[in-house]
Amino acid sequence: MSSETNTYYSFEDAKLVVGEDAYMSSIEQGYNVNDLHPLRSLLLGEIDITSNALAMVDKPNFKQWTNERFTEYIKWLGNSIFTEGDKLNEDVIIIANSLGLGPSEKQFGKRGGLSSFYEEAGLKNVYKRGVYDSWTRHDLAKYVGKIARETPKNESLRKKLRQAAKSGDGPSEKVIQKRVGSVGNALTIDGLIDPNTMDTEDYLEWGVKYSLANNGNEVESDALEYMSPRRLSPSRSAIVRNFGSLESFKLEVLPIYKQRKFEIEENKNKAFSNSMSLLASDEVPVKVIANASNEMELIRLVAQYKVADNLFNNLVAHKKIDYSKMNAKSFSDNLLKLGDGTLTAADIEEMAEMLGVYDFIWPSDQFMTTLQYSKY
């Protein structure tokens, strides 16, 4: 890719200044030199953009652009601004849109997605956002967990994630934040922790999860000594520093654990009752639960049918039943195929949340395995 490194952006009037001659002319006309920023550095996130600066940007109506103009815009970004090795990722699209240069990520999505425009523009060596459209939150959490397990505790996990994203080997941190909330949340879903960001509530939440994973048993020093180096627990010294002693910590955890245990059972009973009502009223066909081996599996199968039915109401009944009887991963993958590019994993998850069944399809229970501990 060729690089137009002498392109600048002015926040003063939200315009591009192309070439050194134009740059010098702008200075002579009274532009503040501190207001003229290299466009490439802005788009790569190397320069922080304040909200006050963005408030001055008056965005054109990109909805009126033709598909051809969308393609030309992508080609301009890819071939004119970036050097070999730079990645035209979704972060660049978001920043460029905030600067009023081109359409938003969502507007590209309504035209078929960024990947189709990358191909149309003939660009190579780009980070294709569509690759991660099929990733569920749990997929993202597993990816973050994998990188965390490969990263020594004295090295920055976020730096490793940024390096992988820049190389096109994984989603950007913004994608992770948008879908999961934060890198810390992703670690939690995968059963790990980020000790550098834990507050009092996080410590107590970890203690509750440990007890849930170990049949109500409280954490002891030997478990912490084993788990802490593996990013599975805070260190004993960190707990003592925050709670005075390990015993004080356990005393605070116990009532929260008991309440959580009660709530889990209550929510399960309520969901089972609702599922049986849906089956009794024929709103969900009984065939959906033919292979259910326990109450939780029955709840999940009914939940998946409800999601499939709401997303593809006109789909023939036997197909919805077939999809509903799959495991959660296959269920999501097959709905994405059925959507044929118009549906993302986020759309499926949002529908599940709207119906109040997300946690029954994708429970955040990996900790039940990772936090199990035995001395023997």
DSSP state at residue 219:
P
Collapse the DSSP code of 226 into the 3-class scheme (helix H, G, I; strand E, B; otherwise coil) and give the result: helix
Total-model pTM: 0.62
- Report the b/e string of 58-74 with b at 16+ CB within 10 A: eeeebeebeeeebbbbb
Is the predicted pLDDT of residue 82 greater than 70, yes or no? no
pLDDT, average across residues 320-334: 93
10 phi/psi in degrees, rounded to 5: -110, 120
pLDDT level of residue 3 (50, 70, 90 thresholds): very low
Q: Find the mean pLDDT for residues 210-233.
A: 93
CA distance 286 to 279: 6
Q: Does residue 196 carry a pLDDT above 70?
A: yes
Are 303 and 361 in contact by the 8 Å Cβ rule? The answer is yes
By residue count, the chain amounts to 376
9 phi and psi angles, rounded to 5 deg? -125, 135
Phi, psi of 53 (to 5 degrees): -65, -45
Residue range 12-21, pLDDT digits in tens: 777 788 888 8
Cβ distance 301 to 325 under 8 Å? yes
- 218 Cβ neighbours under 8 A, 6+ residues apart: 207, 210, 211, 250, 253, 254
